[in-house]
Amino acid sequence: LPHPASLPLHNFQAAVASALKQLAPHQLISSGGDGFYSGAGSDGKNPDPDHDRGWFVHEGGEFSRDAAIPAIDVLSYHCHPPDWAPENGFAWQKDFVRRWVVEHDADAAGVHKPVYLGEFSTSGGGWE
């Protein structure tokens, strides 16, 4: 289940996307979010990096629930493995990126919306 802290941002996104869609019904509206999950992803597991630490929960995002907002046409997410889990090595980060992309693609397919990776960063440690 999504964390209660994610509900205010979700409600805000739904209201603004709906208002924009009324003002400009032919414009594509994107989520623009980080893509975090405060609860479980499509496979029933929380795919956030080191989700047990919980700082992602307090960001307010819940990708799978936000993806279902009817007025949002295109989904986006970010991926910054060296920043999100610097203590984990390259092999873990590389595996995380694969899982992160697959999870977001699956959630987008589940609501029949396109999705794109809007930000990606790497630094040292085998990423060169």
pLDDT of residue 105: 94
> 42 near 110, Cβ under 8 Å?
yes
Look up residue 31 and give its two tokens: 């989520």
Q: How far apart are CA 19 and CA 26, in angstroms?
A: 13
pLDDT of residue 43: 61
Q: How far apart are CA 59 and CA 25, in angstroms?
A: 29
> 66 near 111, Cβ under 8 Å?
no
pLDDT of residue 75: 96
pLDDT of residue 33: 83
pLDDT of residue 102: 92
What Å distances lie between residue 70 and 20, 29, 38, 90, CA to CA?
12, 10, 20, 38
- Give me the count of residues in the chain: 128
pLDDT of residue 1: 57
pLDDT of residue 6: 72
Provide the whole-model pTM.
0.83
pLDDT of residue 23: 97
Chunk the chain into consecutive blocks of 10 residues (it has 128) and report each block's average pLDDT, rounded to whole numbers: 73 94 96 78 62 56 89 94 80 88 93 95 71
Look up residue 4 and give its two tokens: 């209660």
DSSP E strands, the chain: 75-79, 115-120
